[in-house]
Amino acid sequence: MKNIVILISGEGSNMAAIVRAAKSEQWGARFGSRIAAVVSNRPDAGGLAFAAAEGIVTAVVPHKEFPTRESFDAALAKAVDAHAPTLVVLAGFMRILTPEFVTRYEGRLLNIHPSLLPAFAGLHTHRRAIEAGCRVAGATVHQVTSELDHGPILDQAVVPVLPGDSADLLAQRVLSQEHKLYPRAIAAWLARTVAVSDG
Ligand code: GAR
């Protein structure tokens, strides 16, 4: 069985989209995969209740209880490894990961970022895209490397930036595409129809 562990920090709407796609697209039968666990660094992450209601094991590793990034990442890796993951999916997971953590899951650690990378790595992507006068914005699914919001791109979704857009309006437009993009990219990864070579 290919176990998928999803890491969240907040609402978890991408996680929910992945869980729904795994069910409706029968990832179990097609890819021999299952969503094994949802892990959050915040006890109040909204997505935890959804995951539990879906019968998925949940865990919380509260980053505030750890003195260093290294000690938090070590505890996080322990929680993730408890589910023998084939794939680790960052879905709105808002912590910068140490190189040790990234190396541990090299090649099987995916992230979604709400911009058309390599443009607008980091935070406040929607505001920055509007301020830069971009006509399009979007989201990117990429393999995680130790360089923040870089790493080989697996798939992207594009939306228009409309006249009068606020960062919130643009974020909603991008997020609704993320919910299609991330399940599609993960399914392609599981089906091995997308692969990375030479970075
Ligand atoms: C999503 O827009 C995701 O792309 C973004 O946070 C949001 C999480 O929403 N991730 C990042 O900014 C990572 N740097 P969700 O919790 O509803 O999935």
**Per-residue pLDDT tens digits for 28-37:** 999 999 999 9
Q: Ligand 1, atom 16: nearest CA belongs to which residue?
A: 12
Cα dist from 34 to 11, 51, 56, 63, whole Å: 21, 13, 10, 26
- Residue 114 Cβ < 6 Å to ligand 1: yes
Q: Which domains does the chain have, with CATH numbers?
A: 1-105 (3.40.50.170), 112-181 (3.40.50.170)
Classify residue 54 as left (phi > 0), alpha (psi -120 to 50) or beta.
alpha
The model's pTM is 0.98
State in Å: Cα 164 to ligand 1 middle.
Answer: 23
Give tens-digit pLDDT for 79-113: 999 999 999 999 999 999 999 999 999 999 999 99
Q: Which residues are catalytic?
A: 113
| Residue 69 CA to ligand 1 centre (angstroms) | 21
* pLDDT of res. 194: 86
Which ligand 1 atom lies nearest to the CA of residue 111? 13
| Residue 161 DSSP label | P
